[in-house]
Amino acid sequence: MKTQAQPRALYLLNFVSMWECFSYYGMRVLLVLFMVHELHYEDGQAFGLYALYTTLVEFGGVLGGLAADRYLGLKRSIVCGGVTIALGHLCMVLPDSQLSFFLGLGLIISGTSLFRSNVAAFLSEFYEENDPRRDAGYTLYYTGINLGGFLASILCGIVGEVYGWHAGFGLAAIGMLAGNIALYMGRKMLQDKGEIAQPIQNANLVSVAGLAATALVSGVALYFYFYVMPLFPFVAAGLVYYIYRQIKGSVSTGMQGFGRLGLYLVFMVIYYGCEEQLGSSLVLFAERHVNRETLFGSIPAASLVTFNPLTILIIGPFVAYLLQKIRLDGLNKIGLSFTFLGAAFGLLYAGGMFLTISQEVSLGYAVGSIVLISIGELLIGPTVYVTASEVAPKALQGLVMGTVTLAFSLANLFSGFLSQMMAVGETDNSLEVYTSGFWLIGCGSLALALTIIMINNRQKVFA
């Protein structure tokens, strides 16, 4: 059977998102190292601020989706968000100052709230209901944007460590500018989609004011992160209840599909909370305890995360092809993803048990764990995106896709808890602290994988 061609808009939106991903991950791979070495933050302080930053980046997607659905439209939201992200990265290039640092982070949070989830929601407008191309299309989309993460991990990591942190941040800013240019040049591919019948009056002015206010609030929240972090779960719970009420009031055919999406989102929080250690505890573990010497020189600790998007780029198209041939249901794919996650952290634990002569973990253990995490990501990430795009009514596309970014947000919050568990004090045996954390995460992931697969397939057998 001949495979149908994907819509042209997929490739444009993929390209634009790739550059947003480049700018975000390019800055993110440097952030903890910059705070520890340049700002002289302690591990726990750097982990806490990093966790709240990544949490707020994703959390805003719910509010951005609501703004797109009701007031701005998806297309306008994406454009305004992209420009704001670029301004935030440019602030990070400025010479050291608390003002430019927190303002830059606030602008990135603000812009991403209108950009990321709305791009994924916008893509769904180019597929018909029950379109057989949707599953493979979102897998290709998820794979393609990781090209940005791959390039950022290599280029920004090397530039930041060799030429200075602000040079690395500057390269990330160039990436977002490239994305904005591509969106403008290819705007005809988007046709008349992504518009709403009655956008709010003075929509552009309202967008600027809203983005500026969000950036200011976000910057202040980051500055007082220690007080904000404990309050965030209550804010998230209130937002979850609000979303539930909005969906229930707009859907007349039952909530079964949304119940399935909600379950997937819970698993997503757990998975990505563990994976996000790549940007916090694992980057410091790599710097302190991994032998990163190769035949071509030493690999910067920040650049090790390159193997995450690289694996997705290489294996992603193959996985997309398999998903069209082998019909695995969502829960089985999620169960397999946790199997890979548990194996990854088990491998890191094994590396700590079999040290090299120099009392360092061999590079192969670190790279192998990142590859396993990435394979699992390919199974759970697109599954959740597809489910959200399938159940979302047209009037709530941005809000429903925003629930995915809310899950990412809560995952980052959970990641902060896990990384604090592996924060190293001056008197600690740091290798022992790390390996204990890896053991707990690995065992928990494998136990969850076994539970999901057994319960799911038992229900099928006795159905």
What pLDDT was estimated at residue 48? 83
Q: What is the pLDDT of residues 213-246, one digit of tens each?
A: 989 999 999 989 888 888 888 887 887 788 778 7
Q: 3-class SS at 298?
A: strand
CA 86, CA 237: separation in Å to the nearest integer?
31
* Residue 139 predicted with pLDDT over 80: no
The contacts of residue 64 (CB under 8 Å, 6+ apart) are: 77, 81, 112, 113, 114, 115, 116, 117, 118, 398, 402
pLDDT band per the 50, 70, 90 thresholds, residue 461: very low
Helical packing angle, 397-421 and 43-67, nearest 10°: 170
CA 265, CA 408: separation in Å to the nearest integer?
9
| Mean pLDDT of the chain, nearest integer | 82
- The residue ranking higher by pLDDT, 202 or 238, is 238
pLDDT band per the 50, 70, 90 thresholds, residue 460: low
Q: What is the pLDDT of residues 260-270, one digit of tens each?
A: 888 899 999 99
How many other C-beta atoms lie within 10 A of the C-beta of residue 408? 26
Q: Which of 160-164, 258-262, 347-351, 446-450 has the lowest mean pLDDT?
A: 160-164
CA 76, CA 16: separation in Å to the nearest integer?
14
What pLDDT was estimated at residue 463? 39
Q: What is the pLDDT of residues 311-353, one digit of tens each?
A: 888 887 887 777 667 777 778 889 999 999 999 999 999 988 8
- The residue ranking higher by pLDDT, 335 or 284, is 335
What pLDDT was estimated at residue 303? 74
* Residue 64 predicted with pLDDT over 60: yes
CB-CB contact of 389 with 119 (8 Å): no
Domains defined for the chain, CATH in brackets: 8-193+200-462 (1.20.1250.20)
Best-predicted range by mean pLDDT (20-29, 272-281, 330-339, 384-393): 330-339
Instruction: Determine the average pLDDT of the residues in 24-50.
Output: 82
CB-CB contact of 176 with 86 (8 Å): yes
* Residue 451 predicted with pLDDT over 90: yes
Query: Which two tokens mark 39?
Result: 């700002």
Instruction: Determine the average pLDDT of the residues in 284-293.
Output: 86
Q: Which of 51-65, 369-383, 384-398 has the lowest mean pLDDT?
A: 384-398
CA 460 to chain CA centroid, nearest Å: 32
The type of residue at 280 is S
What pLDDT was estimated at residue 445? 95
- Compute φ and ψ for 186, nearest 5 degrees: -105, 20
